[in-house]
Structures are given as C-alpha cells and as structure tokens.
Structure 1
Amino acid sequence: MDITQFPSWRRLNSLAEKMHGRQLRDLFNDDPQRAARFSVELPEFLFDFSKNLIDDEVLVNLLQLAGDADLEGWRDQLFAGAPINRTEGRPVLHPALRGGLSGSLQVGGAPVDVLVDSELQRLKEFVNLLHNGVLAGCTGRRITDVVNLGVGGSHLGPEMVIEALRAYRRDEVRIHFVSNVDGAQLHDVLAQLNPETTLFVVSSKTFTTTETMTNARSALDWFGSVASPEVVLQRHFVAVTASPEKACAFGIAPQRIFQFWDWVGGRFSLWSAIGLPIAMAVGFEGFRALLDGAATMDRHFRQAPLERNAPVLMALVSLWYCTFMGYPAHAILPYEQALHMLPAYLQQAEMESNGKSTTRAGEEADYGTGPLIWGMLGINGQHAFYQYLHQSPEVVPADFIGSVTPGHPLPGHHEILLANMFAQSQALMNGVSREEVEKELAARGLRAEEIRKLAPYKVHRGNRPSNTILLRKLDPHSLGALIALYEHKIFAQGVILQIYSFDQWGVELGKGLASALQPQLDSGDFRNQDASTAGLINFYRRVTAGAAALEFAG
C-alpha cells in the first residue's frame, strides 16, 4: 500500500503544520523530564534527540508510520539475507562482514560466515607480514608505504576510519590515498615515495572503475626500470575486488587478491577486505574491534523496541523534517578533529542511498526521500557557515557529534571544545528574542534610538533542531557502532519512505556518459551531442591544439 495513504501519514502532515508554530523552549518548559525521555543511552554513546521539534503525539505517529511501513518486517528480511536490493536482485549483507547475521545463512550454496571468516584470516596474515617487515618489494627492501587506489566507497570509508583512529595508528607503515583521476593527486603522492618500498592496493568492486584503473596503470609506469611490469605487479600490487578474475588478468598474483562479494554495496564495504588499509594502519586487532562495535549496533537495531531504537529514532526524526516539515538539508557537525572526514563519508552513505525519486512500486515520489547532507568540523564551521544556521530563513537540522574523552594529552582544550558544542546546540534551540536583545543593549548603555536600529540584526529566532551524539570515547569499537548507527538509520528511512536504498543508478548514468565522451575529446567527432557539450569539446580541442602548436614551434 502507498505509504501516503495511511492515516498516520495524514496525521503527520497535519501535525507538521501545528509544529511550525511551536517553540522548543516551550517544549522543555512544559516537560522537565524531556531530555531524559527523548534520549537513548547505549554502551558506546548517548543519543540525545530532545532538541527536536517533536512531542509525544508526533513521536507516536512517526512510530505508527514505521509500523505501517512494516519496518520490522523489512529489518527481518535484511538480517535473513533476503534479496531486498530488488532492482539488482541481491541481498544486502554488509552486517555479515562483522558477524551480525545468522551463522546458517548461505548465498549461492556457500555459507556466508565461512566466506567472511576465511577472507578475514587472509587479511590478518597479510597485515602481520607487513607489520613484521617480512613483506618486501622486488629489490628486497621492506615495504614502508601503502597507496590505496580507489574511489567512492573504496576510498571514503577506509580513509575516514583511519583518520578517525589517528590515536591508534601503528608506526610500521604509512598509508596514502589516491581517488581522483586528476593526475595531480597521484603525482603529489608519488613524489614523496620510493618505488622500491611502496605497495599499491587497487580497490575496485568491478575492477573496471575508470578512475581507479587509470591510476593503477600510471602507478605501474612509475616503477620504470626498477623491475619488469610482471614482477612489479606480483610484488608491489594488491587487489581488493568482487571480480578476482579481472585482477588476475591485470597481472596481480592470486595470493594477493582479496575478495568481497556483490552482496556488499560499495558505500557499506569498509567492513570487508576494502578495509585492508584500516587493518594496515591500526593493526588487525583494531580492525576487529571496529567490526565488533558495528556488530553491537546490529544487535541493538535488531532487538531494541522501536521507541528506544537509536537508528530508528534517527530515521524518524530525519524524515519528519525532510518529508513533513519541509527542511531539505541536514548538517553533520563533528566536534572531534579525528572525525573531520565523517561529513564527506555520510554524504555518500546517505545521498547515494536515499537520493531517489522512484518508489518501490515504480511510481514517482511526491515527497522528500532524503536530505542534502553537508557539514564540516564544528569549530571550523562556527567561523564559516554557522551564521547561516543561526539567522538564515532556512532551517537546517543538525547532528552534533563529540566525545567525553579527549584523544590527546593537552590540558584545557577538550573542555573548550565541548563547551562550544553544547553552546551551539543550545543557541540554535533557544535563539535570542527581541526583548532579550534590547535588554542586553540597554545594559551596555546604548540610547533608545540606537537600540531600535541595532536590535533587529541581533535577534536570533532559534527553534533550530538538532541531535547530539556524545561518545564515551572515540576508539575502534565506538567508531564501528557510530558508523553502523548511520547505516541502519539510512536503511530504516528508505524502508519507511518506500524506496530502494541499495542501488545507485544515478551514479551509473554519469559513468556511462563519460566513457562515451572520452574518445570524442581525441577524435573531435561530437555529432549527436547537445550544443553545450559540443562547444565544450570544441573549446578543449582548440586550446590543446594551440598549445601543441606552440610547443612544436618552440
């Protein structure tokens, strides 16, 4: 049944109109226990959603909507390995990578847990060889640097985790990332390295990704006369892919090809062999702790009642704003230097999943299915775009994320950091009224006429909603739980809004067009192109031809 036809949907539309006239200040004044009632405390963190424009009636109807959408049934299908990625005919089994599914689950006749455990053991053995100095290049020198070549989920997840776990990095090897087909990035990374001591990890689900394979071929050329290409590929290259036969055909040794499977989506793949750079950076034990933390969130999502289920509550609050209240954007604001890549990671995780306009019934959705995700480190953001958050006509709900325990030994810094985080969420909620502004200006001794002119500019309407996630400590276990929290939130929101969250046809469209256009840059045959694209190709060819002529003349 179309989700918009349920009474809960209609009631929420009506409640949204009323809630636009409510004040968060009043919600707290009316309910002294609000903060406790609208929070969920888990072993890894506190999730406080009390600073949101919801009351008991809204929450009851949001939970009813989740029931009407059969969220619990879809959740059971996810964990049972049903092919819920129906446009591609696949199950969605990334929880299996961290031990979050039943041990009896099979895909294609193969036990999933056996496949996963076998590949994890291979990762562990390889990482131990690297850390023990046994892994050497073709000249016998120890590997000291690893360059991950990947894009999208093969890059954002591992790099985000390694940055987040900076306090847990080991010294045996340095990890570098190259994702951009713009050769400037690869060139800059290679300029720092010695080919005799460098290992490349080529991470590509299909092993055909244009950006990644172009960078891999350029990396191979970089070795020059160090050894033959065949030897270099055997000793200095590792592959992580769901297409091992293509990696083998490229020339990478079979024992250095690590596998994941088509039932793992790229943006949910850091738990698989795609996480090899993570294990290299923090050790296999740290990687295992990351998986275990995610598995604890899997259990919470499966077992907690919906009204105390953190991912479900996050999903409900998000769709309340995007779908009913008309707030189309959401800010991710970490107050933890180590989490500086989290906003970019969550952009892909959520927007590639729920940035859809077609329902499961194949109909055009006439409601918002997911917000625009953006953000940056909170302290930096305060001096960049918080002005917009506080006084723009647009309302942007936000997630504030921090930790109780600092990740460094410097005294005094962390208290200032957390004071800023708490203050910003409070300021967004309360704002500053005209009356309060006038009192403050009068106390400063301004005359009545000066107060009248200046006061409008200092008024902050407030009523800007936010969640706060306060980790006890940022470590591998809690980071795993935090990432899985968002994964399940994305899944729950997609289920309720009746879209398929695990395909990405919009991504595929651009890839196909780029492949077709690339030879036209050389040939100049741009027939059947629109006038703008043809003009851009023509301009490119004129400029490059002119540059070539000047070089020849010189």
Structure 2
Amino acid sequence: MTLTRDEAWNKLALHTDPTLEDLFSEDSDRVEKFAKRLELTTGLAGGDADCGILFDWSKTHLTEDLLTDFEALAEAAGFDDMREKMFAGEMVNPTEGRAAEHTALRGVGLDTSVEEADALRERMKLLTTALHEGAFGEIKHLIHVGIGGSALGPALAVDALARDLPVVDVHVVSNIDGVALEEAFAACDPATTFVAVASKTFTTIETMTNAQSVLKWLADSGVDDPTGRVIALTAAPEKAVEWGVDETRILPFAESVGGRYSLWSSIGFPIAVAVGWDDFQAMLDGAARVDAHFRDANGRENLPLRAAFADLFYSRIKGAQTRAVFAYDERLRLLPDYLQQLEMESNGKSVTVDGHPAGPTAPITWGGVGTDAQHAVFQLLHQGTHLIPVDFIASVEAGDTLDAAHHTILLMNCFAQGAALMAGKHSDDPHRNYPGNRPSATILCDDLDAMTFGALVAFHEHRTFANAVLMDINPFDQFGVELGKEIANKIEKGGERFDASTEALLKAAGLG
C-alpha cells in the first residue's frame, strides 16, 4: 500500500533509537551493508573502472528498516518522477518556470540541451586554447570576477586542482570590499593579465563594480585596450555587448543553469584556463558518471538519495539543526564554503512547492579542514550538547610529495575522529566523560584528481536535490537573496527612511 507523504514521515518518527555500538554488535555485516563504493572510469576516452569513491554510512543510525521506510517516503514524494523530469529538461523550478539543466552540461539530459551545451563548450574550448597558445599575447594571469555561484565553484576547483604549476595563474575575486581586489592586483602583472567577468544577468552590482575597477587598474597601468582583455561569462550576452565586450569573447550559458550549479558551464572558464582543457573535461566526465548513477540507481542503492535519507533522519526526525563537513585534505579547504551555498541557498526554505508551511528544512552547513579543526571545534562535537552529524572527506593518495608520514598522520586522525565520536569513553569524572554515539559518515576518494573532484561535487548536487524532493521544497530558486539587495539599492538611491538603528548606522558611516 502506497503511503501519503505525511504517513511516511509519521512512520519514520516511530523508529527506536539504538546506539551506534549496538548497531555494530547486532550486525556483523553492517559495514558491508552501509558502505558502498562508486566506481569511476579513468581516461577521457574510457577505460577500466580502477578508481572511485567509498561512501561509508555505517557510523550513522541508519538501519535496514529505516532505509525501507525512507524508500516509502521517496515513493510518496514522487522522487522517481521528479528525477525523471529534471533529466528530461522539464520544469522543476515552478516559482521561476524553469528547468534545471546543469546535468546537460556534462552530457546527461535532454538531447537538444546536451547538443546545445556541447556547442557552447566547444566555443569555450576554442577560446581557452587560443589563450593558452598565445593568440592574445603572453597571458600569465587571469582575474576572475564574480559572486556567489559564479565565484565559489571556480574558486573551489582552481584551489583543488591547479596547485601544481597552473597553466595560467587564476585569482577569483567576489567580495566588493576593495581589499580583495587589491590583493589580486598585487599578485598580477597588468601587462600579462586577462579578465573574466562572470554574471548570469551581467547586471550584478558587486561584480560589475569590481569589473570596472579592474578595467581602471589595467588602463592606469598602461594597457591600451582594457576592454579587449575581458572574457564575458553570462546567460545575457546582449548585456555583455552593451557593456563593451566583443561578441567573440562572450561565452554564454543557458538560462536553465542556476548560479550554484554553473561551474560546469562557461562559468568554469577560469578552471579550464588554470588546469588545461583535458583536466576540465575529466572533471565533467566524473560528474557525468555520478549523473548516470543518480539517474539509473533506485532506492537505497542510489548513493545521493541514501545520503539524503541520513540527512533527513537527523534534521527532521532527530532535530539536528546543523551538519558539519570536514575535509581532511588541504586541496578541499574551500569545500565547506561551497557546500554552504549549495545546500543552504537551495534548501533554506520555509514553504513547500505549493506555498504551504514546511517542516524543518536545510540544516546549517558548516565545517573546516582537518587536522586544524580538531584543535578548534571538535571539543563541541565530542562533549557539547548539540546533535551534529559529521561528514569526513579524505583521499587515499596524498596531494604532496613530502615524507609519507604527513599523509599517514592526516588519515589516521580522520579515521580516529569518526571512531571516537561513535565509541566515546566513559569516565567517572564528568569533565573527562565522552558520551559517544555521535554519528558520522566518511567519503573516501582513491585520489583527488579532476575526475574524482567532478564526481564529488556532482554527488553533493544530487544529494541536495534529493533532500529537496523528499521535503517537497523547490531547491532551484533563491528569493531570500534578493531582499537585502533591494534595500541596498534603496539606500544607494536615497530618499527613503529606514528603522532607527539602520538610520543611525548610515549616519555613523557617513552615508546618511
């Protein structure tokens, strides 16, 4: 019998709460049941599946019965239908009347959308190759100006993949604070610097203000034609032309690609410039492998959906208000920041798709880098009063060429933290007592190459979508971002009065 969504949630709420140690002691096969590996294909032209990612949820409170009831929730929520609509290029963003076609950028989706994405990507490849081969003169630096998804994705990818002698030195600037831009200026030679301006609408005030300042810096430094150094990355190419960019240096992307899902599009131009086209393509290939898995696997065998089951067990059933992510890899130091936007902007909603009040939705995503975080926030994880599910992310292969002891110690600490959170340690001294039974999941990559990186990001995109479908919310709009912008625009125009506190602040800052 098919349950309604409310009935499915009510049934999930009835589950008992055994400890993690009890779950392991009662089932000797728990690791085999709750740790699943996703194989990835190496090589741009295919090859053997000899690299991959291990996803281990055995240290969470998921059980076989819980998975069965979450599968019933997925059925009640129409998960299969929504997933099919997304991959078919149908409308899944009803508040804005749009599809969400980021997977088409990776070759998985509606045929016509994939063909369009292929054509746009070929245009981007030609421009990238031309820049690398010196068609624009000697280019050593690229300043990439954007904000939100137009900056977070490129910054993460460049930091993760371009640490070893980047083809071009890329600096991603998003903050309107001029200090950020001046830092990029100090690292770049204007005579050998190109500029990428990334804005879906090409009207974003922070981005366009920063872009104008870059042009002024180039002009003040003796560059004859600063606008001739600009590559525009936008879904509104006509706006870029009006701004002064030659149409041959405009790389469009589809309106159906949201900002926080856009690093696979022309927004990824700085990634390709930094790492080279082959690695950029490998990143797309890794994401496409996850796309195919997410499209074809059902129920608990679908890894992003299983991750959503764990997420919702803690946020909806157990009342956890935050989720922590710790990357035990310096190359992924920006991943928690990236996931904050992906998850909180997508699922930070308070109403359902139909506009009715929703239950608890996205938890607060936060985190850091191990082992630094162990000496900062792990005290709260081990002995604090909050329930905080944790994700640990690591790579078996090291990203450095130093003594192997560095990476060995890093991985030992990563695994030890998960074990300690689960087991705890009893002491008669309450100050030295560790309660344990604290959940964590581990995502262990064989190596953090471009393909694996692409797969890791795509996994989290689909995890976010799966959470949204099960909660009956729209993950593809972000109206909450707009209100602050509207008020800032009113302040800039003047003539309006605000609350007493804001008026006092404006006066104190010399703006009122």
Partner of 1:390: 382
Code of the residue aligned with 1:156 in structure 2: it is: L
Measured in 2, the distance between the counterparts of 1:294 and 1:345 equals 16
Partner of 2:226: 232
3-state SS of paired residue (1:224): helix
Partner of 2:424: 431
Partner of 2:13: 13
Partner of 2:470: 496
Distance 1:360 1:171, change over 3 A: closer
Please report how far the alpha carbon of residue 129 of structure 1 lies from its aligned counterpart in structure 2 after TM superposition.
1.8
- 1:326-352 CA-to-partner distances (Å, cap 9, x unmatched) read 111000111011000000000000000
Distance 1:534 1:396, change over 3 A: same
3-state SS of paired residue (1:6): helix
Give 1:474-485 correspondences, 5 Å limit: 474-485=448-459
| Consecutive unaligned residues in structure 2, runs of 5 or more | 40-51
Measured in 2, the distance between the counterparts of 1:357 and 1:39 equals 33
Partner of 2:505: 536
Check conservation: 1:170, 1:283, Cα contact below 8 A.
Answer: no
Measured in 2, the distance between the counterparts of 1:487 and 1:338 equals 19
Please report how far the alpha carbon of residue 54 of structure 1 lies from its aligned counterpart in structure 2 after TM superposition.
2.3
For residue 298 of structure 1, the aligned residue among 287, 291, 309 is 291
- 1:96-144 CA-to-partner distances (Å, cap 9, x unmatched) read 00001142xxxxxxx32232111111211121122222322xxxxx111
Partner of 2:169: 174
Measured in 1, the distance between the counterparts of 2:385 and 2:415 equals 23
Code of the residue aligned with 2:13 in structure 1: it is: N
- 1:298-344 CA-to-partner distances (Å, cap 9, x unmatched) read 00001112111110000111011111111110001110110000000
Please report how far the alpha carbon of residue 226 of structure 1 lies from its aligned counterpart in structure 2 after TM superposition.
5.6
- 1:46-70 CA-to-partner distances (Å, cap 9, x unmatched) read 1000111122222211111111111
Partner of 1:25: 21
Measured in 2, the distance between the counterparts of 1:404 and 1:540 equals 51
For residue 264 of structure 1, the aligned residue among 237, 257, 263 is 257
Measured in 1, the distance between the counterparts of 2:185 and 2:320 equals 44
Partner of 2:371: 379
Check conservation: 1:4, 1:10, Cα contact below 8 A.
Answer: no
Whether 1:330 and 2:323 are equivalent positions in the alignment is yes
Measured in 1, the distance between the counterparts of 2:166 and 2:66 equals 51
Q: Answer with 1 or 2: which has the greater Rg.
A: 1
Partner of 1:59: 67
3-state SS of paired residue (1:317): helix
Partner of 1:416: 409
Code of the residue aligned with 1:475 in structure 2: it is: D
For residue 193 of structure 2, the aligned residue among 183, 191, 198 is 198
For residue 85 of structure 1, the aligned residue among 82, 86, 93 is 93
Code of the residue aligned with 2:218 in structure 1: it is: F
Please report how far the alpha carbon of residue 4 of structure 1 lies from its aligned counterpart in structure 2 after TM superposition.
7.5
- RMSD across aligned positions (CA): 1.6
Q: Taking every aligned residue pair, what percent have the same amino acid on both sides?
A: 43
Please report how far the alpha carbon of residue 191 of structure 1 lies from its aligned counterpart in structure 2 after TM superposition.
2.5
Check conservation: 1:161, 1:278, Cα contact below 8 A.
Answer: yes
3-state SS of paired residue (1:511): helix
Partner of 1:114: 115
Code of the residue aligned with 2:169 in structure 1: it is: R
Measured in 2, the distance between the counterparts of 1:304 and 1:61 equals 17
| Consecutive unaligned residues in structure 1, runs of 5 or more | 104-110, 137-141, 439-454, 546-554
3-state SS of paired residue (2:170): strand
Please report how far the alpha carbon of residue 145 of structure 1 lies from its aligned counterpart in structure 2 after TM superposition.
0.7
3-state SS of paired residue (1:223): helix
Whether 1:508 and 2:472 are equivalent positions in the alignment is no
Code of the residue aligned with 2:139 in structure 1: it is: I
Whether 1:69 and 2:77 are equivalent positions in the alignment is yes
Partner of 1:160: 156
Partner of 1:549: none
Measured in 1, the distance between the counterparts of 2:220 and 2:409 equals 54
For residue 405 of structure 1, the aligned residue among 397, 404, 417 is 397
Check conservation: 1:47, 1:470, Cα contact below 8 A.
Answer: yes
Please report how far the alpha carbon of residue 171 of structure 1 lies from its aligned counterpart in structure 2 after TM superposition.
4.1
Please report how far the alpha carbon of residue 166 of structure 1 lies from its aligned counterpart in structure 2 after TM superposition.
3.4
The worse-fitting range, judged by mean Cα deviation, of 206-215 and 304-313 is: 304-313
Measured in 1, the distance between the counterparts of 2:374 and 2:32 equals 28
Please report how far the alpha carbon of residue 526 of structure 1 lies from its aligned counterpart in structure 2 after TM superposition.
4.4
Check conservation: 2:167, 2:276, Cα contact below 8 A.
Answer: no
Measured in 1, the distance between the counterparts of 2:284 and 2:187 equals 32
Partner of 1:37: 33
- 1:230-270 CA-to-partner distances (Å, cap 9, x unmatched) read x3212x11100001011111111110000011100000000
For residue 56 of structure 2, the aligned residue among 44, 48, 62 is 48
- 1:68-113 CA-to-partner distances (Å, cap 9, x unmatched) read 111111100110111110100000000000001142xxxxxxx322
Equivalent residues, number: 497
Distance 1:172 1:477, change over 3 A: closer
Whether 1:148 and 2:144 are equivalent positions in the alignment is yes
3-state SS of paired residue (2:436): coil
3-state SS of paired residue (2:171): strand
- 1:339-395 CA-to-partner distances (Å, cap 9, x unmatched) read 000000000000000000010121111x21111000010211001000010000101
Partner of 1:243: 236
Partner of 2:45: none
For residue 334 of structure 2, the aligned residue among 315, 338, 341 is 341
Please report how far the alpha carbon of residue 7 of structure 1 lies from its aligned counterpart in structure 2 after TM superposition.
2.3
Check conservation: 2:424, 2:434, Cα contact below 8 A.
Answer: yes
Partner of 1:517: 491
Using structure 1 for the length normalisation, give the TM-score. 0.87
3-state SS of paired residue (2:434): coil
Check conservation: 2:5, 2:73, Cα contact below 8 A.
Answer: no
Measured in 1, the distance between the counterparts of 2:337 and 2:4 equals 32
Measured in 1, the distance between the counterparts of 2:258 and 2:293 equals 22
Code of the residue aligned with 2:324 in structure 1: it is: A
Code of the residue aligned with 1:462 in structure 2: it is: G
Partner of 1:209: 204
